[in-house]
Amino acid sequence: MTEEADFKKVAQVSDIEEGQIVAVEVARELIVLSKLEGEIYAINEMCGHSNGPLADGFIDGDQIECPWHGSRFCLKTGEVTQGPATESVARYAVRVDGDDIFLGPVIG
């Protein structure tokens, strides 16, 4: 079970425009936060293909495309939606309290 202490404040909801991303560093990992239809999602920033920088990628709806070789990942789940990547990127638990975004452990 996930404890409250496992969550750390990483950003504010108002920092992220609807349909956009913000990258934050947590425990030396870069995490991509996105806001889609008002919900906040978090996935690892490193592309599952050759570690390309998803924070520099292109957003298309609920997907992000790696700028290096075009792999696509779902911003909500981290799942690959287009190769060449075959590995999903990690998805993190998120809690929102007012304007504060708290990041939790990997959940998928």
Q: In terms of CB distance, is 17 or 87 closer to ligand FES?
A: 87
> What's the chain's Rg over C-alpha atoms?
13
The total of other beta-carbon atoms located within 10 Å of residue 18's CB is: 9
Return residues touching ligand FES (CB under 6 A).
47, 49-50, 52, 66, 68-71, 84-85
CB of residue 68 vs ligand FES: minimum separation in angstroms?
4
DSSP-derived pairing of the beta strands 63-65 and 72-74: antiparallel
- Report the residue number, 40 or 89, with the smaller CB distance to ligand FES: 89
CB of 50 to ligand FES, least distance (A): 4
Sign of the dihedral through C-alpha 53, 25, 81, 34: negative
Q: Which is nearer to ligand FES, 33 or 85 (CB)?
A: 85
State phi, psi for 64 to the nearest 5 degrees. Answer: -125, 140
Q: Give the shortest CB-46-to-ligand FES separation in angstroms.
A: 9
